[in-house]
Amino acid sequence: MYANFRVDNNGDDSIDESIILEKTANEILDVPFGPPLNFTSIGNGFLAFSAYVDERDGNMGYPCVRIPVIATMKQNFKCRLTDREMEGTTYELSENHAMRYRVYIVSCKLPDEKELKRIKTIEIGVFNTKTAKFEFTVVPIKYRIPKETEIKDHPLQYSVCLPQLFGNLYTAERIVEFIELYRLQGAGRFHVYVKKESLDTKVRRLLNRYSKEGIVELINFHPDIQEKSIWYHGQLISVTDCHLRTIGLTKFVSFNDFDEFFIPTTNDSLLSTLERLLSNNTGSIRIPTFYMSIENKTPPITQHNFKYSPQADEV
């Protein structure tokens, strides 16, 4: 479950791949990756990303176009399709932590629901205080979420969202340990949000290796916003995008950091545990956390450390 790294004769970092799990017959690794995560400037210093068609009734009570935006304040937005304008309904997502830039969802109901099937772009309008009028910007539709009754099967059973990876906090060795442990428990794909320019050579080469096999989807993540102005490097943006890109793709999805491991306390696999827990219309669960004491740094650390805090987080 652990890959060793060495430097070969030509000085390049290379990976001993013999420990990395081979693809198995029940893993679906040829499922296409999602679209890139791009940011569109929409005026007033605001950004839009991952616009999507939502054919479910959801919390709005009707199908609509939804546009996640990054803005400094909650305000009125409009949508425009050809020559028709629609008022947008805006609500703020949680976990913004009162930072200057926050993530909102703008929802617009189209006059004709049939248009949801064929539109490829939507215009979002932001009120410009200098011109005293709404100015519109074209935003591409990235995702299409069908009605629940139309989702008959999922190409993947379990995926892991990892927002986000930057700097040198996690070594390539730790990343291999994380991915291989979760693969043993049934995970078929890992959606990793990265700042590629900040990664060291080993980590970059490792993730590219996994990406070529369809195991890891690398999403380059770099919003044009000062990091100190948004919560934790913009984590809520990547969480929102990963939630959208996995709807209809995977039956179960978890949102993790590379130092978080979901380990069933029974002999069941994680996938079979999720099957059992997330039934009877249960949409999500909250798991108590035990903090491991890393006293032995001999890799793999999950096999050499067993001491944990006596008190877990409350459920």
Higher pLDDT, 124 or 261: 124
The predicted-structure confidence for 158-180, as pLDDT tens digits, reads as follows: 999 998 887 777 888 889 999 99
pLDDT of residue 171: 87
pLDDT at residue 144 in the model: 92
The 10 Å Cβ neighbour count of residue 219 is: 22
Provide the number of structural domains found in the chain. 2
- Pick the closest to residue 211 from 197, 192, 196, 198 (CA basis): 192
> What is the enclosing helix (H) or strand (E) of 199?
none
118, 143, 168: which is the final residue of a domain? Answer: 143
Residue 93 lies in a domain: yes
One-letter amino acid for residue 290 of the chain:
F
Same domain, 192 and 132: no
Distance (Å, whole) CA 173 – CA 60: 45
85-141 residue pLDDT tens = 999 999 999 889 989 999 999 999 987 878 888 899 999 999 988 888 999 999 999
Note the pLDDT tens digit of each residue in 231-253: 888 889 999 999 999 998 999 99
Q: Report the candidate in 192, 165, 222 with the shortest Cα–Cα distance to residue 34.
A: 192
Q: How many Å separate Cα 17 from the centre of its chain?
A: 27
Same domain, 133 and 229: no
Residues 161 and 269 in one domain: yes
Domain of residue 96: give its range: 40-143
Q: How far apart, in Å, are the Cα atoms of 96 and each of 24, 69, 230, 236?
A: 40, 13, 8, 7
Q: Answer whether residue 25 shows pLDDT above 50.
A: no
- How would you classify the pairing of strands 121-128 and 77-81? antiparallel
- The residue from 91, 120, 143 where one domain ends is 143
pLDDT of 2 above 60: no
Q: What pLDDT was estimated at residue 46?
A: 93
Residues 63 and 190 in one domain: no
Instruction: Identify the band that residue 310 occupies on the pLDDT scale cut at 50, 70 and 90.
Output: low
Residue recorded with tokens 């993947």 = 156
Assigned token pair, 194: 């990265």
Instruction: Tell me whether strands 216-220 and 189-194 are parallel, antiparallel or unpaired.
Output: parallel
pTM score: 0.84
CA 12 to chain CA mean position, Å:
31
Q: How confident is the model at residue 311 (pLDDT cuts 50, 70, 90)?
A: low
**For residue 44, which of 71, 80, 21, 83 has the smallest C-alpha distance?**
71
- Look at residue 106 in the predicted model and tell me its pLDDT: 95
Domain boundary among 95, 113, 143: 143
Max mean pLDDT range (143-152, 185-194, 273-282): 185-194
- Per cent of the chain over pLDDT 90 is 39
CATH of the domain at 48: 2.60.40
Distance between CA atoms of residues 182 and 160, nearest Å: 9
- CB atoms under 10 Å from CB of 185, counted, come to 19
Please list, in sequence order, all residues whose beta carbon lies within 8 angstroms of the beta carbon of residue 109, skipping any fewer than 6 positions away: 60, 62, 63, 64, 86
Q: Which residues contact residue 26 at a Cβ distance below 8 angstroms, ignoring those fewer than 6 apart? A: none
